[in-house]
A and B are shown apart, each in its own frame.
Chain A
Amino acid sequence: MKLLLKISWRNVWRNKARSIVFILAIGFGLWGGIFATALMKGMIDQQFNSSIRNLVSHIQIHHPEFIKEKESTYTITRAEEISSMLDGNSKVNAHAERTVVSGMLANASFTSGVEIYGINAEQEKLTISLEESLVEGDYFESVSRNPILLGHTLADKMKISPGNRIILTFQDLNGDITSAAFRVSGIYRTSNSLNDERKVYVLQDDLAVLLDGYGIINEIAILLNELDETNAFRDELQGLFPQYEIRSWAQLSPDLSFMNEFTGMMLLILISIILFALAFGLLNTMLMTIFERTRELGVLLSVGMSKVRVFSMILLETTFLVITGSVFGTLIGALTVALTQQKGIDLSPFGAEAFSDFGFDAVIHPTLDQVFYLNLAILVLITSLLASVYPAYKALKLNPAEAVRKE
């Protein structure tokens, strides 16, 4: 066996130029694949995390009718009970109870349909990091009466800056239309510009006065400590509060869960393409090798080397070739990922706006799990074995009498 290994390894280096070209090809192919994968994963992870952190949270609770009708009269009457239960639960990182009203926002020149969120400022600091999301102005502080936060998209569209006055118009709980003046205290920005055009935040007590009703809760958002606990905790809550519609982030935002699965699929496709190229490169290299060595293989079969051994010799040869190439590729791939992970790669020269419109950050932190490398290694090995079966089989089919006649 040792001699067989020796023969195979030395055979790899017989046609140095060809082997090196092949090794470089797999190497750079894998490098590109690994880096592109890490970049994509970094991008998607980032968006996923910011969607959870700034937009949907892990779990939301609504009155079932509220989801359909969007009317603030459908309230969560057991909100206080839920709130104190959440306060005492170690799985819960933060939670927020919100009043939600649909209405119109107007200034001197423009009007726009909005969703008015009456919030508890302290709660939202933790639940959706609202204060951190501010890009202009401050967090309800500079305005003493009726402060409001707008998203940057809406502010841009309506040419509003902090300190400006705007008018909110909506239906109160009695069904009467009511209007009130608010003053912009800050402008926030999330990774989702659509969200930033629709949602405006006012203080819950200010809204209660206008709605003519205190303690109106239409939505409870919960941020957990661990993403993985989402489903179990949702089920637990649903069991305790069966009359409400309690949804996980995946149910609330199907595109988010799609994105999660889609990433996996994209990575698979990307890697498959690389493996496919690898397989054909290998097939070609090995067929050429066998064609050139017909006579030698004929001699080996003639003097009594068994077919199993000839077959293994060729498999070993391809395996060596592939392992050398993939170790090289994986090393530079992993190195590139490690080097760029911390600082991230700034893609803003290619259009920071375009990235944020799609909900992406322009600075991407490439990332990959250990498992990915392991899976990749296994896939590469399987592919190369599959690709070398045919050439090895060709070698077995050689007729020694004819092979040794070849000049």
Chain B
Amino acid sequence: MAVIKTLDLEKIYNSTHVPVKALNKVNLEIEKGEFTAIVGPSGSGKTTLLNIVGGLDKPTAGKVFIDDEEINTMKDNKLINFRLRNIGFVFQSYNLIPVLTAKENVSFIMLLQKKSKKEMDRRAEELLREVGMADKFDVRPNKLSGGQQQRVAVARALASRPKFILADEPTANLDTASAFNLLDIMARLNREEHITLIFSTHDQRVIERARRVITLVDGAISKDEQFNQ
């Protein structure tokens, strides 16, 4: 069963005087345990697709199902709660709450889920260790490098035990070494813990880490390739 399924997704932005069709009849299925890259030139609709799949934005037409539950018709408040329970997000930058330490940033998500303090502490530390941030529990984001911040963001995204993680250009602001390091962590999480990961990028260096690459051109899927590593 597909964890994500979209049906004829369409998104038209009307905010400019010429309407922009950012997504055009996108039909997509993503299975549990996949590690998928969404690629395509700038403006091809990658962010738009991830936002709609993640329930941050509504499609103009079409449907989105997460584990067979239709999310595009959900009311705002229900959707926020749904995101909290089911989806992990990693954004391009400024992911973290600047006034909280690395550990607090990770705990924060569990706090919203009303987890006990003990479990919060234990899991936050475990996740930070997993992304190689064992020595930075009490450091605030502004004292971390871009790559370290993104790793904390991945730990935070994992904290809620989501069905999948969406990462929109997570390496865009990183140097090559940090970018590879982040992707390696993501690949390992996928391989060893069967975390479902979808990330967008136009960074050729990191595409090959993915096991499936979906190419968008002008808001439509133009290629969908599987690789077996």
Q: Given A303-B109, A305-B112 in contact, is the A7-B77 Cβ separation under 8 Å?
A: no
A296 touches B94 (CB 8 A): yes
A7 touches B97 (CB 8 A): yes
Chain B residues whose C-beta falls within 8 Å of the C-beta of A401 in the assembled complex = 51, 56-57
Q: Please tell me if the beta carbons of A14 and B98 are within 8 angstroms of each other in the complex.
A: yes
Main secondary structure of the interface of B (DSSP, over half): helix
B97 and A302 contact, CB distance less than 8 A: no
Q: Does any Cβ of A come within 8 Å of B85's Cβ?
A: yes
B69 at the A/B interface (Cβ < 8 Å)? Answer: no
A210 within 8 A of B: no
Q: Given A7-B99, A10-B99, A296-B94, check contact A307 B80 (CB 8 Å).
A: yes
Asked whether A16 is an interface residue with its Cβ less than 8 Å from the other chain, the reply is no
Residue from A11, A296, A302 in contact with B56 in the complex, judged by beta carbons closer than 8 Å: A302
Chain A minimum-CB-distance residue to B56? A401
Q: Which residues does chain A contribute within 8 Å of B76, judged by CB atoms?
A: 307
A100 interface residue, CB < 8 Å from B?
Answer: no
Q: Which residue of B lies closest to A305 (CB)?
A: B112
- B75-113 CB contacts (< 8 Å) to partner A: 76-77, 80-81, 83-85, 88-89, 91, 94-95, 97-100, 104, 107-109, 111-112
A302-319 CB mask vs B (1 if < 8 Å, else 0) is 111111010000000000
8 Å CB contact of B81 from A7, A296, A299, A306: A306
For B160, list chain A residues within 8 Å (CB).
Answer: 304
Q: Find chain B residues with CB under 8 A from A3 CB.
A: 100, 104, 107-108, 111
Is A281 in contact with chain B by the CB < 8 A criterion? no
Does A300 have its Cβ within 8 Å of any Cβ on chain B? yes
CB distance from B58 to the nearest CB of A (A): 9
Which of A14, A296, A304, A400 has a CB less than 8 Å from the CB of B84?
Answer: A304
- 13 A-B contacts (beta carbon < 8 Å): A7-B99, A11-B99, A14-B99, A295-B94, A299-B97, A302-B83, A302-B91, A303-B88, A303-B109, A303-B112, A304-B80, A309-B112, A400-B57
Q: Which B positions have Cβ atoms within 8 angstroms of A?
A: 47, 51, 54, 56-57, 76-77, 80-81, 83-85, 88-89, 91, 94-95, 97-100, 104, 107-109, 111-112, 156-157, 160
